[in-house]
Structure 1
Amino acid sequence: MRTSRFLAALGGVIAAASLSACSLSAPRVEPVAQEAPAAESTPEATAEPGEAAGAEAPATGSPQVLRIAQVTGLSSIVVNAKGRTIYRFDDDSNDPPTTNCVEKCNETWQPVLAPNGVEVDAGLEEDLVGTVERPDGAEQLTLNGWPMYYFHEDLSLGQIAGHGTGDKWWAISPAGGRAEKTSDEPAAAKKPQVLRAAGVDGLSPDIVVNAKGRTIYRFDKDDNNPPRTTCVGKCLETWQPVLAPNGVEVEDGIDEDLVGTITRPDGSKQLTLKGWPLYYFHKDLRLGQIAGHGTGDVWFAITAGGGKAKEKSTSSGGSNNNDGGGDSY
């Protein structure tokens, strides 16, 4: 299959390059679920809940990937490299390309970004792919002029939970249109969020991760008695709440009595541990990363007991330099 890479530059100039494949060795993390293959070859294979949440941009230095996939119930759609469904919004404009999903809207719909360029698989027309500058300066990918998004409740690869939302949000077709319904078969079953304890190099004691091993954090400016989140607005561009729209499953190593939820301003249910609201960090793009630990001296990987993880004395800046190895989201 022919694959092309576009590298975006200022002024909208896009240059071609070739796609190369690489494999990454995993960091030391407690056993996690096996990675699902990309949706193009196995479109209904699922990943664990929360894996994709907040994955607007690909791993550092890696281009964003767009490919065509088939999912049950819809005509061909566009997905990312891992098979996550991509959407368009009727309230946006494609001529000229304009995004109208900002601020609170982005708590539910995350822009598909391409800070390192974009690779387009065969079957997608390269000339249809472009970018639009968002109010925060980020470059959001467009297809036939339509800005593209992920849906925060697509917790398994191949899910299309956002399709038809408000009669305005649709999985996007390879031509930039709305994907069409092809059958009445249900989408993939939704799964509960999973919390587990895991050991990660550079920190002690064990910290809390999701089913795939993604690091979970707490914020000192929140409250735990009573539980209250103060991370709203622009804060959510960096820190994504750990949600549990389909319940939560607590594994050994975490006291289930410490786990609860709070209702966020947008009505979503955010998980708490010992009262502390839980978050993901948007730069943790590989399993086992702890890039958010110590940020501003107020964000910390959370321990199984709800406390702040501590850096091991033998680590050398591990909290922000854990860039090697591991599966990407």
Structure 2
Amino acid sequence: MKIPRWAIPAAAAVTASGLVLAACGQESPGRQQNAGARAQAAPPAKPSAPPAPEPTTLGVANVTRLGKVVTDDAGRTLYRFDNDTARPPASTCADACAKAWPPVSASEAATRVNGVDPSLVGKVRRADGTWQVTLGGWPLYRYAKDGAPGDIKGQGVGKAWYAASPTGMKALAKRTETVDRWKGWTVVKTQNDPKLGLILTDGKGRTLYRFDKDTPKPPTTTCFSACKKAWPPAVFKGWKKLRLEGVDRKRVDFIERKDDGKCQLTINGWPMYYYEKDERPGDVKGQGVGGVWWATTPTGTRAANTGTGMGMGTGSGGGGGYGSGGGY
């Protein structure tokens, strides 16, 4: 007997493809499992290759007091550590030390240089297996407390850390030996300024000035009070502690100041001064201030004025030059 199609339960109906139909037209779990199997069979996506490491870059910068030092590509000072060795190259700075002094990593690419001899650059394997850049055999580091390009806060730390020079040697402060040797002396020497010619400086390179309102015959100072603060007198410390370089001794003498009794250096009768706004050796910011202050030549005359350092009306506390008693 033939059973009518309408008499077959819906759950038993089979499609031509063999799939069981479920209520609301959805496929049975069997079909979902087959779909999942097909998805699992799809090959996994290949991970993208990591970017090639950027080469380390070494440069050179001029830093006040130290001269030329080696820097990284961001201009940060690079240091060397006395406890390391250069022959053979070896780093002894790890763990907490490496956090304070991060090693300069050496990538697989060759280190780039700008102002540094490439033959002096190498690398050394650290205890953790990473590579570190060396210069002249010395491993290089940054200092965590250096916040900006040009900072040298790590210089001399622990008497073992020093900025690296372009040859890998320590970058040391200039003139230290000369200054210490002549400490307590009156040192007067000539220096060739690029725009003023030969001018006089002290042993530390500070420019010596003369004041038009003073007099050379007889030698007399008119700079007191506020004037003296802006233009400190150059002290004369005695004939037995006088050091001259390029200056005729016959032109050198001193006067006794009326305000404090101290001896002030004179050149050809003109009392000598410094300028408080000269911050570094070789500065000539006092040249031409008020039209009465001038750098001094070895003969005591005004240094030729070419406009450099002209500061009409910019002297400390006002300008226009200081007269007797600190007036303007």
Q: Check whether TM > 0.5.
A: no
User: Which structure has the higher relative contact order (CA within 8 Å, separation 6+)?
Assistant: 1
Hey, which of these two has a bigger chunk of helix by percent? 2
TM superposition score normalised by structure 2:
0.39
Larger Rg: 2
Relative to its length, the structure with more strand (as a share) is 1
**TM-score, normalization: structure 1?**
0.39
